[in-house]
Amino acid sequence: MSLSKSLRSLPASTKQVYDYVVVGGGSAGCVMANRLSSDPNVRVALLETGSDDNTPLIRNPSGFFWTVPYSKKYNHRYWTTPQKNCNGRNMFQPRGRGVGGSSAINAMVYIRGLKYDFTNLWAEENKCNGWEWENVLPIFKELENNDTLKNNAYHGNEGPLHVRTQNHIGPYSKRIVKAGNELGWKTTDDFNGADQSGVGYYQYTQTKGGRCSTGVAFLTPEVRARPNLDVIVDAHTTKVLTEGRRATGVHAVVSGSSDSANPVTFEAKNDVVLCGGAFNSPQLLMLSGIGPKDQLTKYGIDVVHELPGVGQNLQDHADICVNAKTSRISMPLQIGLTNLPSQIKHFFLGLFKKEGVFMGDNQMVGSFFKSKPDIPANDIQMHVAPFYYKDHGATLRYGGGISVKSCYMRPESRGTVGLNSADPMEGPLIDPNYYDVPADFDPMVAAVRKSIELIQTKTLAEDNLVVSGFGDKDVNNLTDNDIKEYLRENTESIYHPVSTCRMGPSSDPMAVVDHSNGLKVHGMEGLRVIDASVMPTVVSGNTNAPTMVIAQKAYNQMVGQDGVVDVTDALLVDNQL
């Protein structure tokens, strides 16, 4: 029941009535559709601008290498404005387009962030009481079904989101872990446990050899069969409808039945719930007259509610990759005749055992560490791939190599999301403003140096790895300015945009939604934003799992089941720094 047949054949300008209209079927939207429709007395519409997810490109983990760099059907393929601190480059911003959203095209890495993020930054610094680590950890566990890490204080085994340990770790990935040990990093088997620090293997949101997107986890056939839930794909929401300061529904262009001039109306008797993500939720608010007055009047949009924080505070993890080439390594995802036997082996592993690199065992090694010792928590995350990877996966080099990708997890720079025009079919204006605060360069410089050290360890010396990308410069004698220029020319996004509708108390003039009332938009009735855009600050790691927790906690608040503990009296689970 991915698309209601009656809705596919609806004539333009008709009206459908629901209790809740959820806009965006991504990481948060699928959770909200599942939870809201669990009450059989509540009618729910989930509107997704893209397609359904019933395709091998989405369900097979290796589809990442097509959907991220190339696909237009399953990827919005946004681009930034020219980045003044990155040599004026327009930078690629992939975003999932379809059921599951970005969880349907991402690299599936399951990371939660740190206690420091939730307790120190969200709850204390940004005054979002109730979002402390002790209050979100139970929700992470409730949603999780971990196949390996069972019966401990940090993981759940009964939730809908399947989290999988790689079954087939290649020998070269094991050597990369050993190389990390040579740098002084301890081996860790759980980046979401008591101590995130160290080097080890990521866990992934996968099940039965396939991707476990939020569409797979929360919109199961049983959920889709609920008579009170309509999942409507190819439905592009163009405006939130309002009466005074109350949201009453949305207009949407539904493929095959309407256009921008004659949209379908979806009335919401209770709430309109925006789950479009850090780019699309603020854009839709502004198109609907809710946001900074200057943005609205610039494009002739009537001001419904002046809310200056909409589209502000954009944060993202800037990513830098250091590549090294060699002719001596043979890995399944590398191109060349020497690794053909390995590719054949992994093809049959995927066919018969639902494991191997073509089914998600991508051999990735992870590491978390501090760029300098006197900071309170890890600020660098590494993804080390035992294959040569560039251009968001568009370049896989013939022959051997490794790729060391690093991101600075707590950037001080802030960007914006605005409008390109009043046309709802046009994408948003995205300016991450990378490196606007010069201090953001320093941890990235340290990460590049650490990447080169890793490549040059004794453990990896026999592979004759040659660091590429620095021209004729001696990589053992690079100045900080040399590395900064490399960063300006090579930095990309690692796809973690957040915070453009950030939560906070009503006393905060830049807060967009109320942290304690189901993420209700300040100054509006019947309107909520529930997605990664509400994060006050970006978490220390990948953002997919925290976005699901945001949705579940917001739902708990809406139905009066939040269960907040008083952390002043709580037994702290750990320090997790």
Would you please indicate which residues are annotated as catalytic (active-site) residues?
A: 496
Give the C-alpha separation, 129 to 517, whole Å.
Answer: 11
Closest C-alpha to 325, from 406, 235, 248, 388: 388
Residues 6+ apart with CB under 8 A from 500: 278, 279, 281, 282, 310, 311, 312, 313, 314, 416, 417, 533
Residue 51 has phi, psi (to 5 degrees) of: -90, 175
Give the C-alpha separation, 205 to 214, whole Å.
Answer: 9
Residue 101 has phi, psi (to 5 degrees) of: 55, -135
Give the C-alpha separation, 464 to 467, whole Å.
Answer: 10
Give the C-alpha separation, 349 to 347, whole Å.
Answer: 5
Q: Taking the CA of residue 282 as centre, how many other CA atoms within 13 Å lie in the half-sphere pointing to its CB?
A: 35
Give the C-alpha separation, 402 to 384, whole Å.
Answer: 7
Give the bridge partners for 198, in sequence order.
368
CA distances from 70 to 73, 77, 106, 334, 349 (A): 9, 8, 13, 19, 27
Give the C-alpha separation, 196 to 187, whole Å.
Answer: 10
SS3 of residue 513 by DSSP: strand
**Is the CA virtual torsion 73, 75, 81, 82 positive or negative?**
negative
Give the bridge partners for 210, in sequence order.
207
SS3 of residue 569 by DSSP: coil
Angle at 5 between CA 249 and CA 39, to 5 degrees: 55
Instruction: Check the annotation: does 109 bind a ligand.
Output: yes
Could you please report the per-residue DSSP string of 282-318?
Answer: HHHHHHTTEE-HHHHHHTT---SEE-TTTT-SBB--E
Token output for 67: 């959907």
What is the Cα 407 distance to its own chain's centre?
A: 14
Q: From the CB of residue 5, how many other CB atoms can be counted at a distance below 10 Å?
A: 7
8-state DSSP, 427: P
Label the pairing between strands 78-79 and 92-93: antiparallel
Say if CB 504 and CB 126 are below 8 A apart: yes
Residues 6+ apart with CB under 8 A from 447: 320, 371, 380, 382, 406, 407, 408
